[in-house]
Homo-oligomer: A and B are copies of this chain.
Amino acid sequence: MFEHVHEIRIRYRDIDYLGTVYYSRYLEYFEVARDEMMWALGLPYSLFEKEGYAMPVVEAHCVYRHGAVFDELLRIRSCINDLPTSRLRIDYSITSADDGLLIVEGYTVHAFINREKKAVRPPRFFLDLLKSKWQ
Q: Which residues of A contact B (CB under 8 A)?
A: 9, 11-13, 15-20, 22-25, 27-28, 31-32, 35, 44-46, 49, 54, 56-64, 67, 70-71, 108
Contact = CB atoms under 8 A, between A and B. Distances in A.
Contacts of A71: 44-46
A22 to B, nearest CB: 6
26 contacts: A11-B28, A11-B32, A11-B35, A12-B16, A12-B22, A12-B35, A12-B45, A13-B22, A13-B28, A13-B31, A15-B17, A16-B16, A17-B17, A44-B71, A46-B70, A56-B64, A56-B67, A57-B64, A58-B63, A59-B62, A59-B63, A59-B64, A60-B60, A60-B62, A60-B64, A61-B62
A60 B23 contact: yes
